[in-house]
């Protein structure tokens, strides 16, 4: 009878450990998805900033070429 109780305790510990492993894997997957989503948002923001930077650079270059140098007397 005592051997049966000991086997049940050992089995319960093993099942509990497996459940904890499965839960931790679930949490890791959710965190990985969040990180991937954040990375995608950062990539989008970076591409928008780069596009704006190109527009600004082209406008600055356009204004510089538009101005005629002043002649000194």
Please tell me the distance from the alpha carbon of residue 34 to that of residue 40, in angstroms, as a whole number.
Answer: 10
pLDDT at residue 69, rounded to an integer = 61
pLDDT digits (tens, 9 = 90+) for 25-72: 999 999 999 999 999 999 999 999 999 999 999 999 888 776 656 667
Q: Is 68 helix (H, G, I), strand (E, B) or coil?
A: coil
pTM value? 0.60
Q: Of 6, 3, 41, nearest to 49 (Cα)?
A: 41
The domain containing residue 48 runs over which residues?
34-61
Q: Is residue 6 part of a domain?
A: no
Number of domains present in the structure of the chain: 1
Q: Is residue 56 part of a domain?
A: yes
Of 5-9, 13-17, 25-29, the poorest mean pLDDT is in: 5-9
pLDDT at residue 26, rounded to an integer = 98
Q: Is residue 23 part of a domain?
A: no
Q: Is residue 72 part of a domain?
A: no
Q: What is the CA radius of gyration of the chain?
A: 32
Q: Is residue 44 part of a domain?
A: yes
Q: Is residue 27 part of a domain?
A: no
Query: Token pair of 41, please?
Result: 């948002």
């Amino acid at each position: 009878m005592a051997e049966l109780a000991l086997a049940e305790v050992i089995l319960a510990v093993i099942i509990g450990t497996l459940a904890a492993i499965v839960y931790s894997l679930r949490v890791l997957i959710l965190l990985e998805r969040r990180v991937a989503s954040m990375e995608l948002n950062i990539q989008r923001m970076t591409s928008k900033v780069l596009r704006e930077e190109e527009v600004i650079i082209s406008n600055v270059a356009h204004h510089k070429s538009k101005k005629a140098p002043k002649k000194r007397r």
